[in-house]
Structure 1
Amino acid sequence: MTTTQTRRFGIFAGLALVMAATRMHHFNALPDASWGIFFLAGFWLRGSARWAFPLLMVAAVLTDYVVITHMMGISFWTQYCMSAGYWLLIPAYGALWLGGSWLAKHQMGLRLSTLALAAVALLVSENLCYLISNGSFYWLSSHVPTPRSFGAWFENLGDWYLPFLQTTALYVGLGAVLHVLAVQMARITQHHQGQALH
């Protein structure tokens, strides 16, 4: 296995662990990192979507299943958040992955222009994810009272919009700090190795 593959598996494992740990306590003090994780995974694991994205989705679903059936002690499909719309989390999280992947392709290193691109990519992919996930729950869940209307949906969108965006931005911001530190450490290491060769 090459160093790059080993690094990618290490990054994947770290992201999956953080997602599982925070997803278990969705509304507790440590908010769910899932949205941020999928965006960061798209950035750090660009080119590995064939295996990394499905495995992250499996980790998310398994975590939900364990929490709902074993920790809450109820049937998976009777829990309030579960509906036919649950499966639309695949394209919703896919939007976040694509946002991170797009950023990885277009970023220009540690520059302000990259920060601006990151803000745009995150905002667009977050909004798309939010529309898909919230809309699928609202329109497909049996827990939402009928009759449904676009006016009530827009009101529901507004209730959760800022908390989801803020939480995602927080985790992506932490990931960005780690990324900058890793890049700087790699530069320092390369510089020292170069001096040792002279």
Structure 2
Amino acid sequence: MNTTSQRALVMALVAALLVLTRLHLPTTFGHLGPLPDASWAAFFIGGYYLRGWSRWAFPLFMAAAVAVDYVVISGQGMNFWTHYCVSPAYWFLLPAYGALWAGGTLLRRHQTAHHGRTLALLVGSLLASVTVCHLLSQGSFYWLSPVVSEPTIAGWWKNFSDWYLPYLRVAAIYVGLAVIVHVMVGQVVRLARPHGRTAD
């Protein structure tokens, strides 16, 4: 499989993760409920693996996210354009998700063969990009959405801090699982490579 095919496969898998979890479909284990939304992790992972395709892969991921929101909201019998989530703040998802994509891209650009340094870069870039994403998405919703009738600094901070750790935790779990898969696939590829034969 060449590099383009590998990248296309990764794009399809990460996009599927974004769409299926954003739809909040029930799992086969009904008592567990739907899987947590992997959108934030998907944009971070996409930035890492699809750095060379960012010009059109990022818009594709954004279009998929908006399309899913449209399907979910319309499927509940509500008008997408008048739904409380689709306030002027909704369009701040573009720079918010862009921050996650940039975090993955920067990690890929600056990673090294030194695993400890790369792990530190992973933690730092994920933490920074999730923080910026949350500031933009939550902050814009709090200050611009008509849902909050009397916004205050104290109210914003409480809302920000209440949701920050849950969003960070979900993103970190999905990215952690992606790291495990990445390492496992790398090991399989390394072991499957033919070794040079020694002379008899």
Fold in common (TM above 0.5): yes
Structure 2 gaps, min length 5: 27-32
Aligned equivalents of 2:140 and 2:25: distance in 1? 19
Decide whether the 8 Å contact of 1:110 with 1:180 is kept in 2.
no
Deviations 1:56-108 (A, max 9, x none): 000000011011102x1111133332211111101000000110110001111
Offset of residue 6 of structure 1: 1.6
Offset of residue 115 of structure 1: 0.8
Instruction: Determine which of 58, 62, 79 is the counterpart of 1:53.
Output: 58
Q: Does 1:172 align with 2:171?
A: no
Decide whether the 8 Å contact of 1:23 with 1:32 is kept in 2.
yes
SS in structure 2 opposite 1:47? helix
2:48 maps to which residue? 43
How do 1:1-198 residues align onto structure 2 when only pairs under 5 Å count? 3-25=2-24, 28-70=33-75, 72-109=76-113, 111-146=115-150, 148-190=151-193, 193-195=194-196
In the superposition, relative to structure 1, how do residues 197 and 52 fare at CA in structure 2: closer, same or farther (>3 Å)? farther
Identity of aligned pairs, percent? 47
SS in structure 2 opposite 1:30? coil
In the superposition, relative to structure 1, how do residues 134 and 26 fare at CA in structure 2: closer, same or farther (>3 Å)? farther
Scaled by the length of structure 2, what TM-score is found?
A: 0.90
CA RMSD of the aligned region, Å? Answer: 1.9
The residue type equivalent to 2:35 in the other structure is: L
Aligned equivalents of 1:25 and 1:38: distance in 2? 17
Offset of residue 111 of structure 1: 1.0
Length, aligned pairs only: 193
Offset of residue 29 of structure 1: 3.6
Scaled by the length of structure 1, what TM-score is found?
A: 0.91
